[in-house]
Amino acid sequence: MTHKGHDHRKCMALFEKMSEYIDRELDEEARALVDAHIRACCHCQACYETLQRTVDLCRSSAADYPLPDSLSEKLRAMIEAAGR
């Protein structure tokens, strides 16, 4: 599977911002960029949905529950695989 025109570097940069995006810690400009990329990129969209679901789960069970490292690793691997 090839992803012509898909800028893998953008995906990695987006991944770094995704948790801040979910926590609404980004300013308006950065949020708009992340938002636009998530809409345009199915890999990041899948990644975002997984992350969002996990964050929701964590929040409903315990306050300030940190994201498990294994999950961020899994999502990072997803994006890396998508860029190949």
Minimum CB separation from Zn ion for residue 69, in Å? 22
Residue nearest to Zn ion (CB): 41
Contact status: 34 vs Zn ion (CB under 5 A) = no
d(CA 82, CA 84): 6
11 or 75: CB nearest Zn ion: 11
Contact status: 18 vs Zn ion (CB under 5 A) = no
Minimum CB separation from Zn ion for residue 22, in Å? 16
Minimum CB separation from Zn ion for residue 70, in Å? 21
d(CA 48, CA 70): 16
Torsion of CA 39, 82, 21, 38, to 10 degrees: 0
Opening angle at CA 81, ends 17 and 84, nearest 5: 105
Contact status: 41 vs Zn ion (CB under 5 A) = yes
